[in-house]
Structure 1
Amino acid sequence: MSQWEAILRLTGAFQEQALAVYNQEVVPLVVRQCLAVWIESQDWRLAATVQQLANVLFQNLFELLDMQYSRATESKEILEANTIRNFKMKVQTQYQKNPQLLAHLMNELLQTERRIILEYEHTQLQNGQRVQLPMETVQQHKTEQRVNQAKERVALIDQAVKFLEEQQEIFNFRYMTYELQIRQRPTDPLLKKKGQELQLQLNELDKKRRVRMEEILDQIKQLLGLCETLLAFLQQELTDWLQRQRLYCIGADTNTCLKELESWVTKTVEVFFQLKRVLCKLSELSVQVSYEGDPLKIDPPKLQEKLLEMLLCLLQRSFVVHKQPIMIFPFKKPLVLKTSTQFSVGARFLVNLKELRNNMKVSYSIDTDPPDLKGYRRFNLLGPQEKDLEYMQEEGLAVEYKHLTLKEQRAGGGGKGSKGANDNSLSVMEELHIITLKTQFNYGGVQLNIEATTLPFVVISNFSQFVRALASVLWFNLLSTNPKDVTFFSNPPAAPWSLMANALSWQFSYCTNRGLNADQLQMLRKKLCGSVTNEDSVVTWSKFSKENMSRVSFTFWEWFDAVLALVKKHLENIWNDGSVMGFVSRSTEENLLKTMQQGTFLLRFSESMRDGGITCSWVDHHPDGTYVIRSVEPFTKKELFSIPLTEIIRNYQLLTEENIPENPLKYLYPNIPKDEAFGQYYEPRSEATMEYQKYMTRRLIMVSERNVDDAQSSIASGTPQYFPETPQYGTEFFLHDQTEYPTHIAGLEDSMNGMTVGNILINPDSDPMFSHQLTISNEASLDSFNGLNN
Structure 2
Amino acid sequence: LEDLQDAFDFAYKVHYLPGEDSTNDPHRAQQVQVLQGKLQMLDRQRREVLAQMQQLLGRSETLRDFLQQELEAWQERQRRSCMGAPADTRLRPLEAWFTELGQGLFQLLQLLQLLQDLRQKLTYERDPLKAETPLLERRLRELLSYLLKSAFVVEQQPCMPNASKRPLVLRTGTKFSARARLLVRLHDRSHRMEAKIHIDRLGTPSPFLPQNELAPLKGPLSWGIPAQPRWVSGRIGLAADALFHPAGTPPRSKAFSLLPSPSPLVPLLQKEQQFFSKPPPAPWPLLAEVLSWQFQSVAERGLDRDHLLMLGKKLFG
Scaled by the length of structure 1, the TM-score of the pair is 0.34
CA, structure 1 residues 367+207, in 2 after alignment: closer, same or farther (shift >3 Å)? Answer: same
CA, structure 1 residues 286+187, in 2 after alignment: closer, same or farther (shift >3 Å)? Answer: closer
Query: Following TM superposition, by how much is the alpha carbon of 1:350 offset from its aligned partner in structure 2, in angstroms?
Result: 0.9
Provide the secondary structure at the position in 2 that maps to 1:365.
strand
* Conservation of the 8 A alpha-carbon contact between 1:456 and 1:486: no
Residues 159-174 of structure 1 mapped to structure 2, 5 A cutoff: 164-174=1-11
Residues 290-689 of structure 1 mapped to structure 2, 5 A cutoff: 290-329=123-162, 331-354=164-187, 355=189, 359-370=193-204, 373-375=206-208, 408-410=214-216, 421=227, 427=231, 433-444=235-246, 445-451=254-260, 452-456=262-266, 487-491=271-275, 492-528=279-315, 530-531=316-317
Query: Following TM superposition, by how much is the alpha carbon of 1:314 offset from its aligned partner in structure 2, in angstroms?
Result: 1.1
Query: Following TM superposition, by how much is the alpha carbon of 1:174 offset from its aligned partner in structure 2, in angstroms?
Result: 4.7
Residue deviations 1:321-364 (CA, integer Å, cap 9, x gap): 11222222464432233345433221111110033898433232
Paired position in structure 1 for 2:251: none
* Conservation of the 8 A alpha-carbon contact between 2:78 and 2:89: yes
* Conservation of the 8 A alpha-carbon contact between 2:95 and 2:185: yes
Determine which structure has more spread, i.e. the larger CA radius of gyration.
Answer: 1
Paired position in structure 2 for 1:465: none
| Matched residue type, 1:314 | L
CA, structure 1 residues 509+167, in 2 after alignment: closer, same or farther (shift >3 Å)? Answer: same
Provide the secondary structure at the position in 1 that maps to 2:170.
strand
C-alpha separation between the residues in 2 aligned to 1:457 and 1:272? 34
1:236 aligns with 2:69: yes
C-alpha separation between the residues in 1 aligned to 2:234 and 2:281? 18
Choose the corresponding residue for 1:268, options 58, 82, 101: 101
| Matched residue type, 2:237 | I
C-alpha separation between the residues in 2 aligned to 1:486 and 1:301? 45
CA, structure 1 residues 437+199, in 2 after alignment: closer, same or farther (shift >3 Å)? Answer: same
Paired position in structure 1 for 2:87: 254
CA, structure 1 residues 501+329, in 2 after alignment: closer, same or farther (shift >3 Å)? Answer: closer
Query: Following TM superposition, by how much is the alpha carbon of 1:257 offset from its aligned partner in structure 2, in angstroms?
Result: 0.8
Query: Following TM superposition, by how much is the alpha carbon of 1:523 offset from its aligned partner in structure 2, in angstroms?
Result: 2.5
Which ranges in structure 1 are unaligned for 5 or more consecutive residues?
1-163, 380-406, 459-484, 532-790
C-alpha separation between the residues in 1 aligned to 2:37 and 2:291? 75
| Matched residue type, 2:285 | S
* Conservation of the 8 A alpha-carbon contact between 1:324 and 1:345: yes
CA, structure 1 residues 269+330, in 2 after alignment: closer, same or farther (shift >3 Å)? Answer: closer
Residue deviations 1:196-226 (CA, integer Å, cap 9, x gap): 7764443122221233333333322222221
* Conservation of the 8 A alpha-carbon contact between 1:320 and 1:348: yes
CA, structure 1 residues 362+232, in 2 after alignment: closer, same or farther (shift >3 Å)? Answer: same
* Conservation of the 8 A alpha-carbon contact between 1:324 and 1:454: no
Provide the secondary structure at the position in 2 that maps to 1:256.
coil
Residues 72-111 of structure 1 mapped to structure 2, 5 A cutoff: none
Paired position in structure 2 for 1:693: none
C-alpha separation between the residues in 2 aligned to 1:329 and 1:165? 62
Query: Following TM superposition, by how much is the alpha carbon of 1:171 offset from its aligned partner in structure 2, in angstroms?
Result: 2.9
C-alpha separation between the residues in 1 aligned to 2:22 and 2:195? 65
| Matched residue type, 2:4 | Q
C-alpha separation between the residues in 2 aligned to 1:233 and 1:426? 44
| Matched residue type, 1:256 | T
* Conservation of the 8 A alpha-carbon contact between 2:12 and 2:35: no
CA, structure 1 residues 436+296, in 2 after alignment: closer, same or farther (shift >3 Å)? Answer: same
Paired position in structure 2 for 1:224: 57
* Conservation of the 8 A alpha-carbon contact between 2:191 and 2:245: no
Which structure has more relative contact order (CA 8 Å, sep 6+)? It is 2
C-alpha separation between the residues in 2 aligned to 1:193 and 1:526? 107
CA, structure 1 residues 433+426, in 2 after alignment: closer, same or farther (shift >3 Å)? Answer: farther
CA, structure 1 residues 496+337, in 2 after alignment: closer, same or farther (shift >3 Å)? Answer: same
C-alpha separation between the residues in 2 aligned to 1:377 and 1:237? 43
Query: Following TM superposition, by how much is the alpha carbon of 1:432 offset from its aligned partner in structure 2, in angstroms?
Result: 6.4
C-alpha separation between the residues in 1 aligned to 2:26 and 2:74? 68
Question: How many aligned positions are there?
Answer: 299
C-alpha separation between the residues in 2 aligned to 1:330 and 1:254? 19
Overall identity of the aligned pairs, in %: 34
